[in-house]
């Protein structure tokens, strides 16, 4: 007997809404606060806002970059610390700065495939609770000591310890294969693409101005929940000017040729965010709002070890996404381009405008073209709002969905660069 299975039709994925705690400078307001504490506060607020108490959610995906070893089951522990039904499953995800978008993509795919009716995504990060460890040399000697069978063996191993073994091993925010930080890599990019210091400072200024205006309009009032006495993002500077930014010294290349500064780069940030997604049927039955729909996403990588720009992978991810969805770069009402550095955003825009780059690197017939900059990061970007590595994707998805909902209809493009020469992009629309 032959059975023919009909292909399952992919369903639309509703973005119900998202929440986050205020983003703050590391080692300040959230000092000695763990990822679990921050993420639990966010999830608890999300549960309360959408009346999810005692409900089983199909799946929960969270992640962070700066993880201590005890956070091996972070997502599940966070769920168990909230008023969700404790039978709600959860798992960890990590794709560097793209983690928050990656978790949303994964939950969206499960809903689209009919495997879930409702799910929660998001991420967190803190530099104020760094995973400081022991050096490998000390760890290996301790393991040998633990396995020793006699006191004589133990004493011999103890005498092998050196003072250098006891030096703490702090996590280095550098690329393991080049030894360079993300900022140092971006310095190479802006020199290659001839991005000026003034252009970078101007973009940073715009980021602060649009963020400040968004706060004045009350845009973030229902997207942020107070945490530890903090009620708004700590970095937004309405009073900054291009002239003030121009006075800051280069932070990465101090040879006199550098152009990336503390003012046009994202600061080290602590924070967390979460997004609620559902099928249309679940949203309707539970009287949940539908702000927008998660349409599609793409990940890409570049060979940064051999010369490609570390943060240029989103150019490839976006190109593939446009091709698959039969869209042009100009077919969007909103552009949310993560501002790891102002210079990285400008390199991305310039690459899309380049015939040579689009033909030789992206395999296209010509340039993707320019975007309308007045539609980019219109409620502030990461330079002004901050960038907790694992949480930025959740911030962007929640904010962009609200923008589209306020407009009544529209389409938004998300582009996020990550460590390791990767990039994640997504389309949201209504």
**Active site (catalytic) residues:** 97, 387, 417
- What token pair was written down for 174? 């550098």
Burial of residue 335 (CB within 10 Å: 0-12, 13-18, 19+) is buried
- What token pair was written down for 316? 């490839």
Consecutive H or E run containing 16: strand 13-20
Q: Dihedral of the CA atoms 304, 307, 312, 314 (nearest 10)?
A: -50
Among 216, 219, 257, 157, smallest CA distance to 406 is for 219
Q: How far apart are CA 366 and CA 390, in angstroms?
A: 34
Q: How far apart are CA 107 and CA 276, in angstroms?
A: 9
DSSP string, 200-220: HHHHHHHHHHHHHHHHHTTGG
CA quadruple 180, 362, 102, 234: dihedral positive or negative? Answer: positive
DSSP string, 163-188: GGGGS-BPPP-B-TTT--BHHHHHHH
Among 245, 220, 266, smallest CA distance to 399 is for 220
**Rounded to 5 degrees, what are φ and ψ at 143?**
-65, -40
Is the CB of residue 418 less than 8 Å from the CB of residue 408?
A: no
Give the 3-state secondary structure of residue 279. strand
């Amino acid at each position: 007997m032959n059975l023919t299975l009909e292909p399952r039709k992919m369903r639309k994925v509703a973005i119900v809404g998202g929440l986050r705690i205020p983003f703050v400078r590391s080692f300040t307001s959230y000092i000695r606060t763990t990822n679990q504490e921050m993420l639990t506060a966010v999830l608890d607020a999300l549960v309360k806002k959408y009346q999810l108490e005692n409900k089983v959610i199909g799946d929960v995906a969270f992640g962070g970059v700066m993880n201590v070893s005890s956070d091996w089951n972070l997502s599940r522990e966070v769920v168990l610390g909230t008023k969700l039904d404790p039978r709600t499953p959860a798992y960890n995800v990590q794709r560097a700065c793209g983690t928050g978008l990656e978790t949303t993509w994964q939950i969206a795919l499960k809903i689209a495939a009919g495997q879930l009716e409702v799910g929660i995504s998001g991420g967190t990060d803190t530099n104020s609770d760094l995973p400081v460890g022991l050096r490998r040399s000390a760890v290996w000697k301790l393991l040998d000591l633990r396995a020793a069978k006699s006191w004589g063996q133990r004493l011999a191993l103890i005498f092998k310890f050196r003072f250098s073994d006891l030096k703490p091993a702090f996590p280095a925010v550098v690329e393991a294969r080049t030894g360079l930080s993300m900022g140092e890599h971006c310095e190479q990019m802006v020199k290659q693409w001839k991005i000026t210091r003034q252009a970078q400072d101007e973009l940073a200024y715009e980021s602060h101005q649009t963020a400040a205006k968004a706060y004045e309009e009350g845009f973030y009032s229902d997207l942020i929940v107070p945490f530890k006495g903090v009620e708004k993002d700590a970095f937004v500077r309405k009073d900054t000017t291009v002239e003030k930014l121009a006075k800051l010294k280069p932070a990465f290349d101090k040879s006199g040729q550098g152009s990336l500064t503390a003012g046009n780069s994202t600061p080290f940030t602590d924070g967390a965010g979460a997004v609620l997604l559902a099928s249309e049927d679940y949203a309707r039955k539970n009287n949940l709002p539908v702000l927008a729909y998660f349409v599609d996403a793409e990940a890409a990588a570049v060979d940064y070890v051999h010369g490609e720009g570390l943060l240029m992978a989103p150019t490839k991810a976006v190109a593939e996404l446009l091709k698959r969805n039969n869209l042009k770069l100009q077919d969007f009402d909103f552009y949310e381009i993560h501002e790891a550095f102002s210079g990285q955003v400008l390199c991305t825009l310039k690459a899309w405008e380049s015939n040579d780059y689009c033909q030789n690197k992206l395999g296209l017939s010509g340039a993707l073209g320019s975007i309308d900059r007045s539609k980019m990061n219109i409620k502030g970007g990461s330079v002004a709002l901050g960038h907790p590595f694992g949480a930025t994707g959740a911030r962007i998805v929640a904010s962009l969905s609200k923008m589209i909902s306020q407009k009544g209809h529209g389409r938004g493009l998300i582009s996020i660069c990550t460590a390791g020469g990767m990039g994640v992009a997504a389309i949201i629309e209504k």
